[in-house]
Each structure stands twice: as structure tokens, then as C-alpha cells.
Amino acid sequence: MMPVWEIQLFSTRITCHGWTYANVLHWLIYATLAGSVISWFETLTNKTVLDYEHQTLLAAQNGQPAPAAAWFGELQWRESGLFAVDVEWTERASQMIKAGEYRYISPVFLYDKKTGAVTRHLHAALTDNPTLDGMDAVAGWQFLCIEGEDT
């Protein structure tokens, strides 16, 4: 594993280019919501995977492996968003980021279908095709979300 990094998973300053996903115009994340997300996340024992292009979600369908790019287990809320603060990158992912082959992070999360409020952070992926704008490099994103039933 490479040195530990911090990555931004959610930003308070993102834009969506006016697209609508799963019947919500936007997702919400702010300190109170983040506190709830972090509390739930802290109940997990295992580290959380950060893969390539959401392959963890696609492996059963396409039969391809889903290697980890990194692992993390701690989230923190800051004024600018939600961060994973103990990210341990694999050698391969670190080299790909250094070479500019990957630049953005895409979180996978549950959200309230009525309000768009983020309720759980599940895992994340490296991507080179962000949907939303406004994040720093290796902190941008292409949202892939799962409609939550816990409204």
C-alpha cells in the first residue's frame, strides 16, 4: 500500500449541470446529515473499498474482476465537504493517478428519495468521467447512487 491520503467524497460546492438522477434534482449533504452518515459508517468493521469505475457493482453482470484501488475506514466532515481521511492506495492506483490516468472520485451512497439527503456512504470509485463539477482533482465525481428505502 502507498502512503495514506485524504480524499473528498462529497463537496458543499458541487454543481450538477441541471441533470436529474433517479427523480431528484440534487443530493444534499451538510454537517447534520454528515454526522448521521459518519455515525453509521463507524459501525462498520471492515475497511471500505475504493475501486476502479464502479467495477464492484458491475462484476456480477460483466464477470470481470473488481480490484481495489484503495481502502479507507474513517470519514470526517469539514466545511468544504465529507472526506475519507485514511485512504491507503494500492501501488497500481497510485501510479495511475500520478500518470494522470485517473483524476476523480465517485462516491456510492444511499439517499432519501423525497429530499435527496444523503443517508449512507457505501463505497467509492476512481473514475475519469465525472458527471458533477466543482471538486478538486482526485476529489471530483461521477455520482453512482442507489435509491435508499430508509426515508
pLDDT, tens digit, for every residue of 28-71? 888 899 999 999 999 999 999 999 999 999 999 999 999 999 99
Contact yes or no for 82/121 (Cβ under 8 A): yes
Inform me whether the pLDDT recorded for 133 exceeds 70: no
- Please give the Cα distance from 54 to 57 (Å, whole number): 6
Domain ranges of the chain: 4-148
pLDDT of residue 19: 43
What are 87-108's pLDDT values in tens digits? Answer: 999 999 999 998 989 988 888 8
pLDDT of residue 141: 33
Inform me whether the pLDDT recorded for 113 exceeds 90: no
Q: What is the pTM of this model?
A: 0.79
